[in-house]
A and B are shown apart, each in its own frame.
Chain A
């Protein structure tokens, strides 16, 4: 008589079945390639994984599919000519990139922009943050299987893009800043429309919260998944919401205030566990804090010029003066052909962008063209930790983990 063994396998539990399957069979690891063109990779990221059943044993990110040589290009053009290229770094928050780049060059040139220009820049940075986080949260929900929140966040983002279009003339590729100022002043009545938008946004974020924050499925998929310890987050150079979710209190708007951020009151949300759920909570809270900043900027909006008038070799004079005055005509000609004149030296500047700290390291030998411009992209550093913490998770978790890291390949590959 042969002895029969009965085993109970619950149908719904894929993980248990997978682990039993690997225990009972002598299976070797399975190699799985994801991307570079795949909906969960949010761009052109490729992952080479080794799977043991459903469990990831090894995960190697392969990047570079969107490399355009931005740093080489920067060495071959004047400072203002490079502004449109910064749009294409983090293309979900181009205005924040424009501002970070302009601030870097101004820091080296020693240019102080007037208060109105600073206020405009803070305003557009925070609007860019809201726009980026709205998309980030919506897509994150979609990655976890919740389609509906995306519709709410995308509708709101669309309204923001209409405002960007009104301000800059473009929805995506804004190219709004110039070295020493911005391209144009804000249009009439625009601030009121921003205020109306800000008054209505909390309704939408509350809806998203109702759909996600206490959603059982969403919680099961995100809580405790992809937890990054404080030590790991620092060691791998994470910045922005991903670092703060791991419990590190670092926000450059507070710690190294630039463009007048010290004047505004806002809180920096800090996470405790560093998992996917914390990263989501941080982003939704940052949207609320950005609204607080915008409210303060608008209620006390400075008057005056929106560019540094004294920086004669940096910022081109207004059009009507170029057309009527010889001196301004020459000034404009020199700035357009030779570029804004920046003294020799080196400078490193980081701005707190929606995705993390976007840094520019600028080396100048004088003249209108940088000698070297290194772009320190937050998404690049945020992705480098994937190799470390993805192993041990299930294959289905990788979608949620990637969504929660909220990276942009345009910036990662440059």
Chain B
């Protein structure tokens, strides 16, 4: 069981960790420089054999620390989850230690996080894009990236030569319609959140 005693012992052993309120599982803040050591001790000493998920959150361009990496572990012994938050210190060129040597499962998760957020995992054996193609210039899950997408050259040069085609932003007319939860009533009327290409505004070039 992951109870108060377990949490207390874990926090005493690792004084740099701090507990965060959470409704579902034990959630800890971990400074970036201690991430590798903490995950190693979680695996070898605390019995968290499974790294179930590794991802990141973009707190927005105005946030003091813009990106934080979030890790979820599962323990077969404790039959419970543990969550780690590790903030990336640099907002412009975010980077953090790779833990793929500790948990091989992190290899693909880190590649995906790099692909979507542009967070560089130092020490990763083969950090390259995984879902988008290698030459893709943007990081789509960053908050400033528009939902419709941005016009980008196609990855296949031979196809481009013949067809002159490129990856185009999706037309956003017709969806998804969402109203924001605050503001004056006339502004909260349901509308497409991302209007990068509508009747009123021109298609981005």
Determine the residue in chain A with the shortest Cβ distance to B70: A361
Indicate whether A413 sits within 8 Å of B131 (C-beta atoms), given known contacts A248-B76, A361-B72. yes
B108 at the interface (CB under 8 A from A): yes
- Which single member of B72, B147, B193 contacts A359 (CB below 8 Å)? B72
A337 at the interface (CB under 8 A from B): yes
The size of the chain A interface, using a CB distance under 8 A, is: 52
Q: Give, as a whole number of angstroms, the nearest-CB distance from A222 to chain B.
A: 25
B32 at the interface (CB under 8 A from A): no
Q: Please tell me if the beta carbons of A361 and B147 are within 8 angstroms of each other in the complex.
A: no
A-binding segment of B90-98, B157-165, B174-182: B174-182
Q: Give, as a whole number of angstroms, the nearest-CB distance from B172 to chain A.
A: 10
Q: Please tell me if the beta carbons of B104 and A235 are within 8 angstroms of each other in the complex.
A: yes
Indicate whether A235 sits within 8 Å of B103 (C-beta atoms), given known contacts A338-B179, A369-B178. yes
Q: Please tell me if the beta carbons of B57 and A72 are within 8 angstroms of each other in the complex.
A: no
**A-contact 0/1 string along B46-64, CB 8 Å cutoff:** 0001111101011000000
CA distance A63 to B130 in the complex (A): 6
Segment 56-80 of B: residues with Cβ below 8 Å from A: 57-58, 70, 72, 76, 79-80
B141 at the interface (CB under 8 A from A): yes
Indicate whether A361 sits within 8 Å of B180 (C-beta atoms), given known contacts A236-B104, A349-B24. no
A81 at the interface (CB under 8 A from B): yes
17 CB contacts below 8 A, A to B, read A69-B140, A71-B116, A72-B140, A107-B23, A110-B23, A237-B103, A337-B190, A346-B83, A348-B25, A357-B52, A359-B53, A361-B53, A361-B70, A368-B178, A369-B178, A374-B53, A388-B104
B-binding segment of A168-176, A322-330, A376-384: A376-384
**B-contact 0/1 string along A23-57, CB 8 Å cutoff:** 00000000000000000000000000000000000
Indicate whether A376 sits within 8 Å of B53 (C-beta atoms), given known contacts A256-B79, A348-B81. yes
A350 at the interface (CB under 8 A from B): yes
Enumerate chain A interface residues (CB-CB to B < 8 A).
63-64, 67, 69, 71-73, 76-78, 81, 107-108, 110, 234-237, 239, 248-250, 255-256, 337-339, 341, 345-350, 357, 359, 361, 363, 366-369, 371-372, 374, 376, 380-381, 384, 388, 413-414
Q: Please tell me if the beta carbons of A384 and B105 are within 8 angstroms of each other in the complex.
A: yes
Indicate whether A71 sits within 8 Å of B57 (C-beta atoms), given known contacts A77-B176, A361-B72, A384-B107. no
CA distance A63 to B182 in the complex (A): 40
Secondary structure dominating the interface of B: loop
Q: Please tell me if the beta carbons of A76 and B53 are within 8 angstroms of each other in the complex.
A: no
Contacts of A368 in B (CB 8 A): 178-179, 181
- Which single member of B24, B27, B51, B83 contacts A107 (CB below 8 Å)? B24
Determine the residue in chain A with the shortest Cβ distance to B107: A384
CA distance A70 to B193 in the complex (A): 16
Contacts of A78 in B (CB 8 A): 176, 178
Q: Please tell me if the beta carbons of A338 and B176 are within 8 angstroms of each other in the complex.
A: no
Contacts of B81 in A (CB 8 A): 348
Among A63, A76, A77, A380, find the residue whose CB has the most chain B CB atoms closer than 10 A: A76
B168 at the interface (CB under 8 A from A): no
Q: Please tell me if the beta carbons of A380 and B141 are within 8 angstroms of each other in the complex.
A: no
Contacts of A237 in B (CB 8 A): 50-52, 103, 105
Q: Please tell me if the beta carbons of A73 and B147 are within 8 angstroms of each other in the complex.
A: yes
CA distance A348 to B71 in the complex (A): 11
**A-contact 0/1 string along B91-131, CB 8 Å cutoff:** 00000000000011101100010001000000000000111
Q: Please tell me if the beta carbons of B24 and A348 are within 8 angstroms of each other in the complex.
A: yes
CA distance A64 to B55 in the complex (A): 17
Q: Please tell me if the beta carbons of B104 and A359 are within 8 angstroms of each other in the complex.
A: no
- Which single member of A67, A349, A384 contacts B131 (CB below 8 Å)? A67
Q: Please tell me if the beta carbons of A338 and B131 are within 8 angstroms of each other in the complex.
A: no
CA distance A369 to B188 in the complex (A): 13
